[in-house]
Amino acid sequence: MGDINAISGLAPPAPTPFTSPASLASFKIPLKAYLQEHPQFNSVAVAAFVFNEEGKLLIVQRAAHDSFPLLWEVPGGACDYEDESLLHAVARELWEESGLRAKSIVTLVGKGLPIPYRGNRCMCKYSFLTEVEQYDIKLDPNEHQAFLWVTEEEAKAGRCGDVEFRYTTKDQRLSVCEAFKLRNSGKAQAD
């Protein structure tokens, strides 16, 4: 389907518990501890790659009034010191931005991406394949105004039906391609 979907809902309750494999143990720590172990970073961002039952990837369009207006990305954002762990930040950001509840954070997509900002500061962004409990999207209109479920071909072409889209960054596009590759390889199964 090439339709753009935009739905907003009320503030959701906290996300439910999720599972994650032992291979992600290094992300099962709070942000403060992670930054102490990785002093080269000043902050951490996370993203959730969610595929539906048809193998299509969820992408969301940033709000016109926000940074990177009208560009597309996968749900994600900054880790907070209040998050129990970096993986909990993935589940929280997914819930806040899409209304989807993480069932399992399956595997890391690619490697951490260092992103310089504000002079000599550096953030690291980690992306994860994430399985969800259901697929009913509820966008926060303060952050995103539409969503699409796209095939690999659509993701690469930047077009879904009659909707053309551009990613927030070149790295976002590369991560999308990596997520499809990982999913299609069969290595992205939950433990």
pLDDT of 190 strictly over 90: no
| Predicted local confidence at residue 119, as pLDDT | 83
State how far Cα 30 lies from the chain centre.
Answer: 18
Question: Could you report the per-residue pLDDT of 155-180, keeping only the tens digit for each?
Answer: 999 999 999 999 999 999 999 999 99
Fold classified for 22-185 = Nucleoside Triphosphate Pyrophosphohydrolase (3.90.79)
What is the predicted pLDDT for the residue at 10? 43
Sign of CA dihedral 41, 45, 49, 50: positive
- The per-residue pLDDT for range 96-109, each reduced to its tens digit, is 999 999 999 999 99
Q: Record the pTM.
A: 0.90
Phi, psi at 31, each rounded to 5°? -55, -45
